[in-house]
């Protein structure tokens, strides 16, 4: 057991992100007073992870209702959400009760969305069990589900009552999934905290496994990056847009792949594209470093040459767009994110040619 680190996400509804090993007993302390029933939403394929969570909640005197959902992105549908609403009603979950989301980013997204829409909002506590969910999806209060037209197009802003990152859950992650989660960590290095990049570049092999010498520091640094941003801008009115660095193309690739590609792999490709856009637009030239750090941990840096027309259509539905004007997060320098608004089509296509395989 390690001492827990508490990282506070500030703002109108502040909350703590608890990070450590052997910290599940702290989960009930994250509930606000008055909770009776707790609905635990978890992937149906991960009972060994959800069971100790349910036991910790029950040991604190709460009634626990376990609600299994499909794995991954298949859970983020209106149909699954509707079934969960029915279950919450059937079990009498009231506005003073709580929802807990246990699992990867898709599950925590779904749990936050269901909690934010049930009775116009009940408290949610998130227990991310993957690297991607710990450093990104579970922190920030943005929750969403998918539609046939795109990813996360229907959603809510609901800050959780707390987030608990039990680091031991990472030990059983498939190596490719863990590696994909590093893309979001690396993104934090480029937009805000270059020390993240230095740690990974000094020991790429160590960065690709949960028990690496800098695992906890990398996770905590990336959580702090996100906490600082979302604490200042919950609803993506301005500053929070920088967290979408690399995501405009990434979300288009995910849709092109029918969500069969890992989110982090798509983000890695998207960051190379954003770096190329930055360079071609006369901003910062961080292409070589972007390619180097991503390839050093085994992440992809290119995509199919023939996909551009489809990707371009998907990108027109990006959430950062304003009317017909496309908006991209680019870099004006290391840890200096900026915006590129309404770039010409030839610039967008030229950047894609640089990353096409």
- Catalytically active residues are 120, 142, 184, 226, 236, 240, 244, 247, 251, 263
Is 151 flagged in the annotation as binding? yes
Is 123 flagged in the annotation as binding? no
Closest Cα partner for 174 from 259, 248, 104?
104
DSSP-assigned beta bridge partners for residue 64 = 38
Is 193 flagged in the annotation as binding? no
**φ and ψ of 338, to 5 deg:** -140, -175
Is 320 flagged in the annotation as binding? no
Is 274 flagged in the annotation as binding? no
Is 345 flagged in the annotation as binding? no
Is 108 flagged in the annotation as binding? yes
Q: Mind spelling out the 3-state secondary structure of the chain?
A: CCCCEEEEECCCCCEEEEEECCCHHHHHHHCCCCCCEEEEEEECCCHHHHHHHHHHHHHCCCEEEEEEECCHHHHCCHHHHHHHHHHHHHCCCCCCCEEEEEECHHHHHHHHHHHHHHHHCCEEEEEECCHHHHHHHCCCCEEEEEECCEEEEEEEECCCCEEEEEHHHHHHCCHHHHHHHHHHHHHHHHHCCHHHHHHHHHCHHHHCCCCCCCHHHHHHHHHHHHHHHHHHCCCCCCHHHHHHCCHHHHHHHHHHCCCCCCHHHHHHHHHHHHHHHHHHCCCCCCHHHHHHHHHHCCCCCCECHHHHHHHHHHHCCCCCCECCECEEEEEEECCEEEEEECCCHHHHHHHHHHHEC
Is 319 flagged in the annotation as binding? no
Is 76 flagged in the annotation as binding? yes
**Cα gap 76→275, rounded to integer Å:** 30
Is 187 flagged in the annotation as binding? no
**φ and ψ of 127, to 5 deg:** -120, 85
Is 142 flagged in the annotation as binding? yes
Is 166 flagged in the annotation as binding? no
Q: 180 and 263 in contact (C-beta within 8 Å)?
A: yes
Is 5 flagged in the annotation as binding? no
* Cα dihedral: 295, 296, 299, 303 (round 10): 0
Token digits of residue 129: 């069990």
Is 121 flagged in the annotation as binding? no
Is 222 flagged in the annotation as binding? no
Is 314 flagged in the annotation as binding? no
Q: Which residues are annotated as a binding site for Zn(2+)?
A: 184, 247, 263
Residues belonging to the binding site for NAD(+) are 71-76, 105-109, 129-130, 142, 151
Residue ranges for the known binding site are 71-76, 105-109, 129-130, 142, 151, 184, 247, 263
């Amino acid at each position: 057991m390690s001492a827990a680190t508490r990282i506070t996400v500030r703002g109108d509804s502040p909350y703590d992100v608890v990070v450590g090993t052997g910290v599940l007993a702290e989960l009930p302390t994250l509930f606000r007073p008055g909770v009776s029933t707790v609905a635990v939403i978890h992937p149906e394929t991960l009972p060994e992870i959800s069971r100790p969570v349910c036991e910790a909640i029950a040991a604190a005197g709460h009634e626990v209702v376990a609600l299994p959902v499909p794995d991954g992105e298949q859970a983020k549908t209106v149909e699954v959400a509707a079934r969960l609403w029915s279950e919450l009603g059937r079990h009498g979950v009231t506005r003073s009760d709580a929802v807990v989301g246990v699992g990867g980013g898709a599950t925590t997204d779904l749990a936050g969305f269901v909690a934010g829409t049930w009775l116009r909002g009940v408290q949610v506590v998130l227990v991310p069990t993957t690297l991607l969910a710990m450093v990104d999806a579970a922190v920030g209060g943005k929750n969403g589900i998918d539609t046939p037209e795109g990813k996360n197009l229907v959603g809510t802003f609901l800050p959780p009552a707390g987030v608990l990152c039990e680091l031991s859950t990472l030990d059983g992650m498939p190596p490719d999934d863990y590696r994909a989660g590093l893309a979001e960590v690396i993104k934090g290095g480029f937009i805000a905290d270059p020390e993240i990049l230095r740690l990974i570049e000094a020991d790429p092999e160590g960065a690709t496994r949960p028990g690496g010498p800098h695992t906890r520091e990398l996770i905590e640094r990336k959580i702090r990056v996100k906490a600082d941003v979302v604490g200042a801008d919950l609803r993506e009115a301005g500053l929070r847009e920088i967290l979408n660095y690399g995501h405009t193309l990434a979300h288009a690739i995910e849709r092109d792949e029918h969500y069969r590609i890992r989110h982090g792999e798509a983000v890695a490709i998207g960051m190379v594209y954003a770096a190329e856009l930055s360079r071609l637009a006369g901003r910062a030239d961080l292409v070589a470093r972007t390619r180097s750090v991503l390839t050093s941990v085994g992440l992809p840096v290119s995509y199919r040459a023939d996909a551009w027309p489809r990707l371009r259509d998907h990108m027109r539905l990006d959430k950062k767009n304003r009317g017909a004007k496309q908006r991209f997060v680019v870099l004006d320098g290391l840890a200096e994110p900026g915006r590129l608004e309404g770039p010409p089509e030839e610039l967008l296509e030229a950047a894609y040619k640089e990353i096409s395989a």
